[in-house]
């Protein structure tokens, strides 16, 4: 049993349609795939239908952009929603992505890289969560940068000249809301990028006590040492260990579909409906 439990479609910032994504997963011989688009459920119905036809398992999920101690932390919610409180937070997050766009474009123009909102919308056409990745795509199309990575590294990332903060949900509240929505909260790539400094073992311990059920350990952005340490920590704290690619189609290199997988026993727990909503 091979399961990749964290992927993105073009309903957020991946480049495959949900159907294409599921077909690729089936062609690779995966038995189960989870779609976890950023702050949106928009691709889930299509992906579930495609998985049904393709004969592979499907786990509905979502990746919620959260904030903890000033750092961006991503929370996966397996089988979460719909829930009024959670949905309101997600809508707020999506809205604030759109609202900060003019300021972001003003800053890029000041830096000699004019881009119109039209151009960004063209790249975000299919997405329910238009954001920095689509601004990055427009920058690539203009020839300002080589790829999304360079756009984030030089201009759009936290603290770079084009960075404009947006609304993000408090992590502890998001964990509570995922549980309230009948889902299972798992922290995505806890020690990738800038999050290792804030998600200390003590903090993860507190989150485990307040409803967190797992951490994503096998992720392309975690090196060997981080994986060993996180695995040990998960054992101590009674947290589930997941492994996933964080596949984004052409939107991210180094994240090939199925390159990381989750142990079947963990898949079974996460796939179990809590109250049969989805």
Binding of ligand AMP by 152 (CB under 6 A): yes
Choosing among Zn ion, Fe ion, ligand AMP, none, which partner's interface includes residue 131 (Cβ < 5 to 8 Å by kind)?
A: ligand AMP
Using DSSP bridges, classify how beta strands 63-68 and 169-170 pair: parallel, antiparallel or unpaired.
Answer: parallel
Token output for 269: 């727990």
CA angle 195, 33, 169 (to 5 degrees): 35
Q: Which residue is nearest to ligand AMP (CB)?
A: 131
4, 9, 10, 13: residue in contact with Zn ion (rule CB under 5 A): 13
14 binds ligand AMP (CB under 6 A): no
Helix/strand/coil for 133: helix
Minimum distance between the CB of residue 143 and Fe ion, rounded to whole angstroms?
27
- Tell me whether residue 164 or residue 226 sits nearer to ligand AMP (CB atom): 164
In which element (H, E) is residue 73 found? strand 71-78
Residue 246 interacts with, from Zn ion, Fe ion, ligand AMP, none (CB under 5-8 Å by kind):
Fe ion
- Tokens 């307040």, residue located: 210
Least Cβ distance, residue 111 to ligand AMP (angstroms): 18
Task: Tell me: does residue 6 bind ligand AMP (CB under 6 A).
Answer: no
Alpha helices in the chain (DSSP H): 18-27, 44-54, 84-99, 101-110, 117-123, 132-142, 148-151, 171-180, 201-209, 224-237, 264-271
Interaction site with ligand AMP (CB under 6 A): 13, 38, 65, 97, 131-133, 148-149, 152, 166, 252
């Amino acid at each position: 049993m091979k399961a990749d439990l964290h992927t993105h479609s073009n309903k957020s910032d991946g480049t495959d349609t949900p159907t294409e994504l599921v077909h690729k997963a089936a062609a690779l011989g995966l038995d189960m795939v989870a779609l976890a688009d950023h702050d949106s459920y928009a691709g889930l119905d299509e992906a579930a239908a495609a998985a049904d036809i393709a004969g592979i398992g499907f786990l509905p999920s979502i990746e919620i952009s959260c904030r903890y101690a000033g750092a961006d932390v991503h929370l996966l919610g397996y089988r979460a929603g719909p829930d009024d409180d959670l949905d309101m937070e997600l809508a707020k997050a999506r809205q604030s992505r759109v609202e900060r766009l003019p300021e972001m474009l003003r800053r890029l123009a000041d830096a000699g890289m004019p881009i119109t909102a039209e151009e960004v919308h063209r790249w975000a056409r299919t997405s329910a969560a238009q954001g920095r990745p689509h601004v990055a795509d427009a920058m690539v199309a203009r020839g300002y940068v080589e790829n999304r990575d360079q756009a984030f590294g030089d201009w759009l990332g936290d603290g770079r000249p084009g960075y404009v903060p947006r609304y993000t949900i408090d992590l502890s509240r998001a964990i509570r809301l995922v549980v309230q929505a009948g889902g299972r909260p798992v922290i995505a790539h806890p020690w990738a990028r800038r999050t290792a400094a804030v998600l200390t073992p003590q903090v993860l311990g507190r989150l485990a006590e307040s409803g967190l059920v797992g951490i994503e350990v096998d992720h392309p952005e975690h090196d060997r040492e981080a994986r060993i340490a996180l695995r040990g920590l998960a054992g101590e704290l009674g947290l589930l260990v997941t492994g996933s690619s964080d596949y984004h189609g052409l939107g991210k290199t180094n994240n090939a579909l199925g390159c990381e997988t989750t142990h079947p026993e963990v898949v079974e727990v996460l796939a179990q409906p809590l109250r049969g909503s989805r």
